[in-house]
Amino acid sequence: MRSDAKKNYDHILTVARDLLTGGGADASLRDIARKAGVGDGTLHRHFPTREALLEALLRTNFEDMAERASALEREEDAGRALVLWLKEAVAMTHSYSGVIAPMVAAIADEDSALHGSCVSLRSAGTRLLARAQAEGAARPDMDGNDLFALISALAWLAEQPPLVPRADHLFDIMVSAILTDSRDGGVARG
C-alpha cells in the first residue's frame, strides 16, 4: 500500500474508532468519510462495506482476546479463568457502540467480513469453557454459541441507560448460572 493510502486507511480507522467508542453507533460510512476528511470513494476503496470497516476495527481486539484466552488457559482455576475472560470480552464488545447486532449476524454468515473474527472470538471462549467443564467448574450443557450469545446480551444490556447501574449485578447472575457452584471464580467485582 502506498504511504498516502496507508495514511488515509489509518486515519479512517482512527476516526471510525473514535465515533464508535464515543456513542456514534449510527454513524454512516459517509459520516465517517466526512469526519476523516476523505471522499466517499477513498473510504469505499479501503472499506467497501460497513462490515469491512467493523472487521478492521475489531480484528486487533478479537486477536487480543484470543491471546488472552490462551494465557488464561494456564490459570490454575479454570472457572476463574473463564470468568476473567468473559468480563474482558463483555467490556471489549461494549466499548464499541452498535457492533453487537452485526457480530451476532456475522457468526452465522460465512460471507460476512466479520465472520472470521467473530468465529475466532467464539473459539477462544469455547476453549476456556471446555476446560472449565472438563474440571467440573462449568455447567456441561453450554457451548461456545451460548457463551457468545451471553457476551452479546450483556454488552447490549450495558448500553441501555436504565440498566447500566445493574450491569455488574447482571454479570454476577450470569456467572452463577454458568459455574457449577456459587463461587464467582474468585473474580472480585467492583
Give the pLDDT score at 38.
93
Give the pLDDT score at 145.
94
Question: What is this structure's pTM?
Answer: 0.83
What is the rounded CA–CA span in Å between residue 37 and residue 11?
9
Residue with cell 457451548: 143
Q: How confident is the model at residue 189 (pLDDT cuts 50, 70, 90)?
A: very low
Q: How confident is the model at residue 190 (pLDDT cuts 50, 70, 90)?
A: very low
pLDDT at 187 over 80: no
pLDDT at 72 over 80: yes
Pick one of 1.10.10, 1.10.3820, 1.10.3470, 1.10.287 as the CATH number of 1-48: 1.10.10
- Whether residue 43 contacts residue 36, with contact meaning beta carbons closer than 8 Å, is answered with yes
Q: Are 1-48 and 50-190 in the same CATH fold? A: no
